[in-house]
Structure 1
Amino acid sequence: MKIQALRHYSGIGGQAVLEGVMMRNKDQYAVSVRRENGEIATDVGEFHGLLYGSVFRQIPFLRGIFVFLDSLSLGYRSLNYASSIFTDEETHAQPSPHKASAEKTETDKNTKSKAHETLFGVATFVLSLAIALILFTALPFLIASLFSKFIRSDVLLSLLEGALRIFLFIVYIRLIAQMEDTKRLFAYHGAEHKCINCLESGHALNVANVRRASRLHRRCGSSFLLFVMLVSIVLFFFIRVRSVPYRILIRILLIPLISGISYELILLAANSDFILWRLLAKPGLMLQRLTTREPDDSMIEVGIRSVEAIFDWRSYLQDAFGIIRGEEEASDQSR
């Protein structure tokens, strides 16, 4: 039986990292990563973000820009910690001095290979973000410009550019989703969503309950990206600069403003049951079927560990629901 969310905002959010999950609650964050030996490593820290405590962070449309930049900064920090877990493990792993020389050489080769593979994975992810910026900003505009000789309407050209941007994004997601590392990353993404949905539906945070929760969530960054693309279609329509380089530059410079508008829209879509906002959230939820996968129990355990490091979920459930559902069931199953 699936657990359905009841729209009780917990205040927590997060993202998937290499073999783990980052969760944030206000100024605290935790990154939990599954080590190669099966143990879970957790790093807890504070993150205040840009202009911490400033009134500017409370202004609608402007606050979304800070949230966007903070997400990039904390995301990089979390990915760096996750990659360091494997790099440190593999670099400092020393074989037994009693083993044969040939075995030692082979172990050293494997260790270096794994360390390089992890570093390459992080570099690839960062490079992918840079490529994505070019793909989803400049390329759609350039392709749409090729049709300007045949399409005289600026409205149609703007719609074509927006449609191309969404099409390229979906193709990009589908392509990287074929990589094994990305499949695991998307599964941890699903674990992150399931943990939050489990709590926001009033259920105790345990593997059995989290497993039944939905892997789709309205406040997901994937939905945010889709809002960014939809807002850009409208905003770019009003740009009338003729120079191609300047038009591309303006599109890049407008990303913070687009992020601010998109943030306000996703807040409405996530926290309102008004039918218009629910319909607006649907495309983002559909996109999450590509950016999330069903996690296994070991991934769910990592997500739970990350939540528990920075969030008193029992107090939250008592305050929000007056009851903790499903805790007795988990206790019975563990006996």
Structure 2
Amino acid sequence: MIPFSILDLSPIVEGDTATQALRNTLNLAQHAERMGYNRYWLAEHHNMPGIASAATSVVLGYVAGGTNTIRVGSGGVMLPNHSPLVIAEQFGTLESLYPGRIDLGLGRAPGSDQATARALRRNLTGPDTFPQDVIELQRYFQPDDSNQFVQAVPGNGLNIPIWILGSSLFGAQLAAILGLPYAFASHFAPAELLRALQVYRTQFKPSEHLKEPYAMVAVNVIAADTDEEAQRLFTSVQQQFLYIRRGKARQMQPPVNNIEENWPDYELANIDSMLRCSAVGSPETVQSVLASFISQTKADELIITAPIYDHEARKHSLTLTAQVREALTSQQFESVAV
């Protein structure tokens, strides 16, 4: 069975608060655990009125403390915003509290605009030092070494899986060189997906962390009882990206019956291109789209993002998607038998 995981941004819906968004995140993580999802990841974004997961490590502790078995991690921590030592200490603390359940996904984008990035880290180095920062971070997780004056406590000697996240060939090459697992952000940046996977797999060098390449691919999945209802729920995602493209990010908007009435065709076409790695519809429709997507990408794991305005509809979408995963597994067994 190909594992399915969850990527959450703790969406703050229109008229609601970050408090409720974070409570919804924990409730959704508990639901995902019951449904058999493999990981629950949260992403670092800043200066975004519709996202409550900015303090990613803090939210991860909240989620890990309220669940029992599901892996919890960052998808990702934007390393240019932080000192590698601070991240090593934060995730060393999480791994010490919740051993064997913590993942550390790293991205090189700021997760914000440049002014916010400068406010986050005054001596901004930018993404150019990302490879060196990753290597420095890895050193902090090595066993206690008396020759290393600065050590992460907690952190040293802990086995915390590090993932490289990306939406271009850069991350694929870095993950391959370092022998690390790789996650591609095709849920909003699908253009380089297949090329990046090819680069990662062909250039991969086995390491003490990973013997063979392992690629996780992100996809938007909005499942509902009917295609029409799923398409309606998906309009909240479309609006979210449309407002961001206009430089007017806001809280998540309620779904609309006909998005074409309020947005120009050229803007919608652009957003449709960004969101083309999406499975939106009834369980049958979602199953067909995901089967094709898995076949095309040969993904080792899917990470599902399902930003839906109504929390109960979001939980229902994850329930239906878990059922699709079971059906896909049966379908694969039948193919083998034939």
**TM-score if structure 1 supplies the norm length?**
0.31
Q: Which has the higher strand share?
A: 2
> Based on CA coordinates, which of the two structures has the bigger radius of gyration?
1
Q: Structure 2-normalised TM-score? A: 0.31
Bigger RCO (CA 8 Å, 6+ sep): 1
